[in-house]
Every structure is written in C-alpha cells, then in structure tokens.
C-alpha cells in the first residue's frame, strides 16, 4: 500500500463520483477500450477479438475495487489476485499508466460537470494503489512460477448431457491443492480464458482432470466438449481458490455438489483419502433429473472403499427411487450441520440457497466454503 492511504474524504469522493456515472457504465467501458486501443494500439493483441465479456470484467473489477477501497487488507488481497492472474495476458508494468490515463479520461467524460480536480486527484491516488499492488504481486509471482502452463490432452470421455471429462498433462510441474480451479485457454479461441475446477487431488503422474459442461453459446466450453481431442494442447493459468481442505476446523465434513460442481468436491474427497481418511464425510449430490445426476456410480465405488464416506443423491424435478427435492431442502431434512465444515459447489442459485438454509439452522457462515461466483478472480467468496 502507498505511504499515505486514502482518507475518508477521498473515499467518499470516489464512491460519490462512481454513483454519478454508474448508470452509464456500459458506455464508459466501450469508450475506455476505444481510446485505449486508439492511443496505445500495441496493447490490442493482448485482448480477444470479441470484447463484450472483457468489458463486463473491467466494470466488475472497478466496482469491486471501489467496494473495497476502505478495507486495505481486502483490497491488497483482491488486487494481488488480479496482478498474478493478469500475467497470463502478458501484462507489463509499463501498461498500467496507459490504462490509468484512459480510465480517468473515460470517467471524466461521462461524469461531466460533476468531475472536479479534487475527484480526479482521489481517483489518481486510488488507481496508483491498485497498480502498485498488482505490479508487486506479479513480480513476486514471476520469481517462483510461469505465467501459463501448456498442457496436452491425454484422455477424454463423454459423460452425456453435454458433459465431458478431459484429462491433461502439463508440460511443466503444476502445483495446486485439491479444491482449487484454473483458467483454461483453448487453441481455437485465443485470449478467451474460462475457469474450471480440477476434479482430482494431485497425482503422481501430474495429470489433471476437468469436468466441462457445454454451455450454449459458450465458445470455450463447447470447444472443450465437442472439439478437443487427445494430442491437442491447451494452456492453464495459475491455480486459484481457497476452497481447500486445510480451511476446515471440524472433523465432520459436509460436501454438497450440483451438476459439474462435483469436480472440486471429488478432488477434496480424494484428498481426505490421501491423508488417511481421519474425517467423517457426508456427500449430497443433486440434479433436476436422474439422467443429470452424473458421477454417482464413481462416488458409490469410493464409498464402498472408504467407510468414512456417506453418499446421498437428490433429484428435484422427477420421480425416481431415492430422495426427492432440491439440495437445500434435503440438507434441511437431514441436518442440522452446525458441527460440520461445509463445502458447496454447483449452480449459483443452489449455492446461495443452500448457504441460507445452513446458516438458518445454525452453521456458522465462516465454516461454509465455496468458490467465488462468475469470473473467480473478480469475485470474493
């Protein structure tokens, strides 16, 4: 952080001015990239051809920074994540002044008469803080690991319902913890990075498996599910995420997975087994229909092998043998879970509702763990 942190007055100026321009946020991001590429054309190759997703990420990053501007510890943590993650785009320290110049010019244009020298100074100081933390984090990261890891597809299997399991072997050692996720870039869509959880605990052969569901209109997911083949080379970004086993305090664990949310949960269960299975684990799997309840057979085989693992499957929209209902409903029926560490993974609405259900029944919020929503590096758990 800089020697002189932002004052309460400067924080107020930043938040007030953002409130003025926020209704025009879409136009601001379009204008920002237009003048950035016009003034500094050398940075254009760092971005994907289609900019819609990128503009949205800029806006969310900006909103997140303003949200954290009065919490130095969280701001440093968030900007550190941004700095390390941006290494995969080829971001250099020299790029930060250009971005800052164009960002402030964009805010000034759309704020109009509300933009004053005092507000400009506050934003300049805040951006300097962000840039300094991002640059320092990137430099520290560069000293210990690469920015990206090429990885060859070595196995691919279809799981039906638009889901594929893809196993890759990185060309360099890839150190991560069970429960973490990574950005993936395919050769068919350069510069488009999407985030997927690793579905296994670290293996001796270094391979990683990802569970990918083809999302309609999702260029990266559809390429991975329908186009990727053994021998293709993708690129991995650095491992990220705090939903790891070491955050658990209790010996009793509750894992809840919906859809491809099974991936990090499976990795965590493998990690429990690797450590000797000294914990008691309850796993709930959920889907709308029985056909969509994928991965059950594999998990049942794990339960037969490990006496500490109990599995229950729930289907919400179809009458099938077994438990019927949504995962939050089923959790309420089988609870309470206040003596457990809870790990949630799956659709956003499922995670949000399950978290509310568990909290109401006495589970401490800090004992409920899940990945960030949307683009992970722009969100906070």
Q: Looking at the domain assignment, is residue 374 inside a domain?
A: yes
Residue 335 CA to residue 289 CA, distance in Å, equals 23
Which of 142, 166, 200 corresponds to the end of one domain?
Answer: 142
Q: Looking at the domain assignment, is residue 207 inside a domain?
A: yes
Q: Looking at the domain assignment, is residue 317 inside a domain?
A: yes
Asked whether the predicted pLDDT for residue 381 surpasses 60, the reply is no
What single string gives the DSSP state of each residue in 162-222?
Answer: TEEEEEEEESS-----TT-EEEEE-TTSTT-EEEEEB-S---TT--EEEEEE--TT-HHHH
Judge contact between 23 and 132, C-beta under 8 A. no
Residue 277 CA to residue 285 CA, distance in Å, equals 20
Q: Looking at the structure, do residues 118 and 230 belong to the same domain, yes or no? A: no
Asked whether the predicted pLDDT for residue 317 surpasses 60, the reply is no
Q: For position 197, which CATH number holds?
A: 2.40.30.10
242 forms beta bridges with none
Query: What are 85-104's pLDDT values in tens digits?
Result: 889 888 889 899 999 999 99
Which of 192, 208, 236 corresponds to the end of one domain?
Answer: 236
Residue 89 CA to residue 45 CA, distance in Å, equals 10
Look up the domain containing 228 and give its range. 149-236
Q: For position 265, which CATH number holds?
A: 3.40.50.80
pLDDT band at 333 (very low <50, low <70, confident <90, very high): confident
Q: Looking at the structure, do residues 231 and 266 belong to the same domain, yes or no? A: no
Which of 114, 142, 170 corresponds to the end of one domain?
Answer: 142
Residue 132 CA to residue 319 CA, distance in Å, equals 56
pLDDT at residue number 156: 95
Least confident of 82-86, 315-319, 376-380: 376-380
Least confident of 186-195, 239-248, 316-325, 347-356: 316-325
Sheet (strand 280-287) strand order: 323-324, 309-315, 280-287, 252-258, 340-345, 368-370
Residue 189 CA to residue 230 CA, distance in Å, equals 18
pLDDT at residue number 320: 54
Residue 162 CA to residue 373 CA, distance in Å, equals 21
pLDDT at residue number 323: 64
Residue 247 CA to residue 182 CA, distance in Å, equals 19
DSSP 8-state secondary structure symbol assigned to residue 240: B
DSSP 8-state secondary structure symbol assigned to residue 362: T
Token pair belonging to 8: 């309460």
Q: Looking at the structure, do residues 221 and 166 belong to the same domain, yes or no? A: yes
The average confidence (pLDDT) of the chain is: 86
Q: Average pLDDT for residues 116-124, to the nearest whole number?
A: 93
Q: Is the pTM of this model over 0.85?
A: no
**How far is residue 246 from each of residues 177, 237, 255, 367, measured CA to CA in Å?**
9, 22, 15, 12
Query: What are 8-25's pLDDT values in tens digits?
Result: 899 999 989 988 988 888
Query: What are 169-181's pLDDT values in tens digits?
Result: 999 999 999 999 9
pLDDT band at 295 (very low <50, low <70, confident <90, very high): confident
Residue 252 CA to residue 341 CA, distance in Å, equals 7
pLDDT at residue number 229: 96
Q: Looking at the structure, do residues 12 and 82 belong to the same domain, yes or no? A: yes
pLDDT at residue number 290: 59
Number of domain units in the chain: 3
pLDDT at residue number 269: 95
Q: Looking at the structure, do residues 70 and 106 belong to the same domain, yes or no? A: yes
Residue 168 CA to residue 231 CA, distance in Å, equals 9
Sheet (strand 149-160) strand order: 193-197, 181-185, 233-236, 149-160, 163-170, 208-213
Q: Looking at the domain assignment, is residue 1 inside a domain?
A: no
Token pair belonging to 202: 């670290």
Q: Looking at the domain assignment, is residue 3 inside a domain?
A: no
Residue 344's φ and ψ, nearest 5 degrees, are -110, 140
Q: Looking at the structure, do residues 109 and 188 belong to the same domain, yes or no? A: no
Asked whether the predicted pLDDT for residue 1 surpasses 80, the reply is no
Residue 319 CA to residue 24 CA, distance in Å, equals 48
Q: Looking at the structure, do residues 275 and 334 belong to the same domain, yes or no? A: yes
Residue 222 or residue 242, greater confidence: 222
Judge contact between 271 and 343, C-beta under 8 A. no
pLDDT at residue number 373: 57
Q: Looking at the structure, do residues 18 and 108 belong to the same domain, yes or no? A: yes
Asked whether the predicted pLDDT for residue 272 surpasses 90, the reply is yes
Asked whether the predicted pLDDT for residue 41 surpasses 60, the reply is yes
Q: Looking at the structure, do residues 123 and 198 belong to the same domain, yes or no? A: no
Q: Looking at the structure, do residues 22 and 115 belong to the same domain, yes or no? A: yes
pLDDT at residue number 4: 65
Q: Looking at the domain assignment, is residue 20 inside a domain?
A: yes
Q: Looking at the structure, do residues 104 and 155 belong to the same domain, yes or no? A: no
pLDDT at residue number 2: 45
Maximum average pLDDT range among 59-73, 177-191, 359-373: 177-191
Q: Looking at the domain assignment, is residue 262 inside a domain?
A: yes
Q: Average pLDDT for residues 260-269, to the nearest whole number?
A: 92
Q: Looking at the domain assignment, is residue 88 inside a domain?
A: yes
Q: Looking at the structure, do residues 58 and 110 belong to the same domain, yes or no? A: yes
């Amino acid at each position: 952080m800089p020697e002189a942190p932002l004052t309460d007055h400067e924080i107020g100026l930043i938040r007030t001015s953002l409130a003025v321009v926020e209704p025009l946020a879409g136009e601001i991001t379009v204008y920002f990239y237009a003048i950035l590429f016009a003034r500094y054309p050398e940075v254009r190759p760092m971005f994907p051809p289609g900019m819609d997703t990128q503009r949205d990420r800029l806006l969310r990053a900006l909103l997140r920074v303003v949200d954290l501007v009065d919490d130095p510890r969280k701001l440093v943590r968030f900007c550190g994540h941004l700095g390390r993650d941006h290494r995969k785009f080829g971001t250099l320290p020299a790029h930060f002044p250009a971005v800052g110049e164009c960002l402030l010019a964009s805010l000034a244009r759309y704020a109009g008469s509300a933009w004053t020298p005092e507000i400009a100074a506050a934003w300049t100081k805040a951006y300097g803080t962000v840039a300094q933390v991002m640059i320092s984090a990137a430099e520290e990261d560069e000293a210990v690991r690469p920015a990206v890891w090429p990885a060859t597809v070595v196995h691919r299997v279809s799981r039906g319902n638009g889901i594929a399991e893809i196993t890759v072997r990185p060309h360099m050692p890839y150190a991560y913890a069970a429960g973490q996720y990574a950005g993936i870039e395919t050769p068919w869509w350069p510069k488009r990075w999407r985030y997927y959880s690793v579905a296994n605990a670290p293996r001796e052969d270094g391979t990683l498996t990802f569970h990918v569901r083809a999302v309609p209109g999702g260029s990266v997911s559809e390429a991975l599910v329908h186009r990727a083949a053994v021998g293709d080379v993708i690129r991995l970004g650095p491992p990220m995420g705090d939903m790891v086993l070491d955050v658990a305090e209790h010996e009793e664990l509750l894992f809840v997975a919906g859809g491809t949310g099974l991936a990090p949960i499976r990795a965590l269960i493998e990690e429990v087994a690797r450590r000797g299975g000294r914990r008691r684990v309850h796993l709930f799997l959920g889907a709308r229909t029985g056909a969509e309840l994928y991965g059950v057979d594999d998990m049942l085989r794990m339960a037969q092998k490990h006496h500490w693992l109990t599995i229950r499957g729930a289907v919400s929209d179809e009458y099938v043998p077994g438990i019927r209902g949504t995962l939050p409903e089923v959790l309420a029926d089988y609870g309470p879970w206040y003596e457990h560490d809870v790990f949630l993974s799956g659709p956003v609405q499922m995670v949000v509702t399950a978290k509310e259900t568990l909290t109401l029944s006495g589970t401490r919020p800090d004992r409920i763990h899940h990945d960030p929503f949307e683009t992970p590096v722009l969100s906070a758990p």
